[in-house]
Amino acid sequence: MADIPQKTGHVRPLSPHLTIWRWQVTMLASIMHRATGMALSAGAIVLAWWLVSISNGPEGYDSFMVYAAMPLGLVVLFGFTWSFAFHFFNGIRHLAWDLGYGFDKHFATRTGFLVLALSFLIAIGVFAFVWTGHAGYLR
């Protein structure tokens, strides 16, 4: 029987860990794409709640707005809006990658920053448009 090597006290990691890698925009965008996809799935529950409350008439809609108008509700709605914008723009970026475009390191970094900036600008714009009452949702 072959001798089994003894452990020496120093255990090497089996694969690279997040503490080894230097954070990059492309890494952040990839992680955020997955996170916003999960947030959009959870946000679908809020969307369903909103639709059911509308179908229940003014009383049902008012019960939804009680929670939506709270500070936590506004944060959730803004997060849902930003998640949608980010996932949309980063999805276009991924589509370009699927077609073979945008793999250059510098271009991928620039488009990562562009996706982050555009998603925040669009989310702030849409949220401000609705918040000021121009979309017809607030009375």
Supply the pLDDT for residue 13: 60
Is there a contact between 113 and 26 (Cβ–Cβ < 8 Å)? no
- CA atoms of 86 and 138, how far apart (whole Å): 25
* DSSP structure string for 87-127: HHHHHHHHHHHHTT---SHHHHHHHHHHHHHHHHHHHHHHH
Question: Which helix (H) or strand (E) covers residue 68, if one does?
Answer: helix 57-68
Task: Look at the domain 25-131 and name its fold.
Answer: 3 helical TM bundles of succinate and fumarate reductases (1.20.1300)
Check whether 71 has a pLDDT greater than 90.
Answer: yes
**Could you report the per-residue pLDDT of 16-46, keeping only the tens digit for each?**
666 677 788 999 999 999 999 999 999 999 9
Contact predicate 56/103, CB 8 Å: no
Residue 74 contacts residue 123 (beta carbons within 8 Å): no
Helical (H) or strand (E) element with 36: helix 25-55
pTM for the model stands at 0.79
The ranges assigned to domains in the chain are 25-131
